[in-house]
Amino acid sequence: MSVGEFQLIQEYFAKELSAFGVNLGIGDDCALLTVPEGRQLAVSMDTLVGGVHFPKNADPELIAERAVRVCVSDLAAMGAEPLWFTLGLTMPSSESNWLSGFSRGLFKAASEYNISLVGGDTTSGPLAITLQVHGSVLPDKALQRCNARVGDVIFVTGNLGDGAAALAVIKKEFEVGKSAFAYLMSRYYTPKARIREGQLLTKIGHAAIDVSDGLLADLGHICKASGVAAVIEAERLPISDPVKKLCDPDTAMTWALTGGDDYELCFTIPPSRLRVFEDLQAKYNFDCTAIGEIVSGDGVSCLSEGRVVLPPKSAGYEHF
């Protein structure tokens, strides 16, 4: 069944949430919002195109969940608190089954991060989703890319390479058992935006970024913005058991270094705050691994058994 634009918005997207600071939500020319007093607004936009960023025939519930999580991950990487999001949804037709699944996934993820849909646009065209997330952060507390300093220890949350492994499995390049399949699909479609970790880091961390284009590329952005270099140790890269079982160690390392779609945080902590950070880790069950150090120079080097492993050619996803 096909539904009209206004009915569509009413039925699938105009959900009242008792959201902080929403003076006027969906349904007027603009949404009207009040940013918490004394805080800066943090905004980030992501576009996900059908057939490019996700399979066109993927479950709409998963597409929507993933879109929200991927975009909220940018708030996590700044240490921001999620507030609101807007949705630009373009689709070839308006099928109620598809929309109902999409809406379910959207609000499932949104309620997990306590972020409210306040506006957007629905248009007819090739399937694509643009989300903008809005959060708040205390002035001078955001985890900017330019804040890494020589001597900082480099950490990543969770595991790396799961996103790339999942894509390889989706493309049927590898076969896996049922539980590994479930693990990888959940890592790909429902990545966990590290909101809590980002917020804890605003107290002690220097720089942070979320790993969306691959560790080498994303850590490279920190290095470039901060005017420093990074040395990481291949043996320390946190790789999940399903990925270790799926492929040879070189492939796993390549996925961990250059695969995108992990949405873990890569961040740096100054040596003077490592003790405090250890306390935080223990107290909050903060899942992360030290993988290297910020040094002077430029670029990212990866060492294995003391020798430089040349980064593979394709160092991070570029859209063009």
Q: Residues marked as binding? A: 29, 44, 46, 53, 74, 120-121, 145, 210, 212-213, 261, 317
Kind and range of the H or E run holding 122: strand 116-124
Task: Give the dihedral sign, CA 180/185/186/188.
Answer: positive
Nearer to its own copies, 126 or 227 (CB): 126
Nearer to its own copies, 26 or 168 (CB): 26
Task: Give the dihedral sign, CA 313/44/239/294.
Answer: positive
Give the N- to C-terminal CA distance of the chain in Å, as an integer: 37
Site membership for its own copies, residue 177 (CB under 8 A): no
Please pick, from the candidates 10, 55, 100, 121, the single residue that binds its own copies as defined by CB under 8 A. Answer: 121
**What binding mask, one character per residue, do residues 23-42 give for its own copies by CB under 8 A, x or -?**
xx--xxxxxxxxx----xxx
- Nearest partner of 154 among 101, 220, 104, judged by Cα: 220
CA distance 267 to 264: 10
Nearer to its own copies, 176 or 266 (CB): 266
Instruction: Write down the least CB distance from residue 174 to its own copies, Å.
Output: 25
Nearer to its own copies, 210 or 262 (CB): 210
CA distance 63 to 9: 18
At position 64, the amino acid (one-letter code) is A
* DSSP category for residue 142: S
Residue ranges that bind its own copies, judged by CB under 8 A: 2-6, 8, 23-24, 27-35, 40-53, 74-75, 77-78, 80, 86-90, 93-94, 118-126, 128, 130, 132, 134-135, 137, 139, 142, 144-146, 208-210, 225, 318-320
